[in-house]
Structure 1
Amino acid sequence: MPRGKVGGKYDRRMSFDDVKDERMLMMVDKLCVWMGGILEETLNRENLIPQIRNGVLMCRLATVIQESVDDFTSKNDEAGPLPRKAPQNFSQDCSNRSMEARENVMKFLTWARELRVPESSIFSPDDLLKLKGKMNVVNTLLAVARRAKDCGMAADIDAPPKIANAFKGLEEKFGKKFEHTATAFGGQKSALKSTTMTLSATSAWKVVQQKIDLILQLRGKPSYEIFRA
């Protein structure tokens, strides 16, 4: 069954189509990039809720973060109370509406509380399981991300995105090809010799790409990011 559909009908609650606040959508995008990068999963606005709904990915996320927590507590005598272990014995393969899914979610939330995520930021299981409040779920995961940073995790949700990722996003949105420029920004300068010809020489996108390439070829220019921290 395609994602976002329940009983053959499109279910808006499974995506973020009904969220109009751009700031909230940016937070969703941030979360998808951060969580997807850690778990090596492709997450986006359309599939985030269906992918995490049975709790498996969240328990896997907790398992990865727990490694940083363990290292942090071993080096900090005054770290305070933190979880001693990630969720245990969670179901790896269960449906979104099963009892096992609810148990997975509950195990994750118990762990998040032990991580000292504020209670005001903890979502209710039905916010996810019954799709009653997806932004509450996002808020909890954002809070987990920032607590993970406090506990020494290298993956920082507030880190500025590399410009290569921005061009990848443009390609996905507009169907244009930006591999050449994105690769160059990723640090592989040799790719400058093989410019893609998928865009016409007079197109606006091509002009922008060429100007950026010229900047990259100047001596002493660093690899750029969209925003500097």
Structure 2
Amino acid sequence: MWVVFLAVIRRDLMLAFRRRADVLTTLFFFLMVVSLFPLGVGPERELLRTMAPGILWVAALLASMLSLGRLFALDHADGTLEPMLLAPEPLTVIVAGKVLAHWLVSGLPLVALAPLLALQFDLPPDAIGVLLASLLLGTPTLSLIGGVGAALTLGLRGGGVLLALLVLPLYIPVLIFGAGAVVAQSAGLASSAHLQLLGGVLAAACALTPWATAAALHIALD
């Protein structure tokens, strides 16, 4: 199963690098959304610091959603998804590999770019560190939950809108805890409680969502 898991990750990463425009679209969307807010609200330092956690987290959430529709759609279109479902290896292993590859392509670059963009909002270094930690815990959860929505809407007309309606309510706790950790740190309070809650949500998502995604794929292809 470990060999299959690594093979799925390698395959999806190779396909993503062949479609670099899709990866760059996610990064440019995140960059443009975050960069436009300081230009729109003005140079007031305290206002920018107050708005920064929510802006960065909402932008990362929306950017991660841009690529969710491609998580299983391309495999479904070229016919490779059916052999995956019929493979002797557990489908949950294949799903976990695809979700991890999705995060490496669309989530990890956002995490790496966020501290640089946070400088536009004059966030202190300790708040930037908490922002980085919250995104490292939160963005994998977004990919895991989004995988369930992508599987449920696979092959449906207007699936992108339905996908957003399905996953956005489930993203709200991640958004609240992630942005709340940075807000607490900026206010001089402890951010550990928010980060621990994010870690708990990530652990629950790792345990439950691969099974739910595999079941949703079986339903979508039946």
Structure 1 length-normalised TM = 0.24
| Higher-RCO chain (CA-CA 8 Å, sequence separation at least 6) | 2
The alignment's TM-score, normalised by the length of structure 2, stands at 0.24
* Structure showing greater Rg: 1
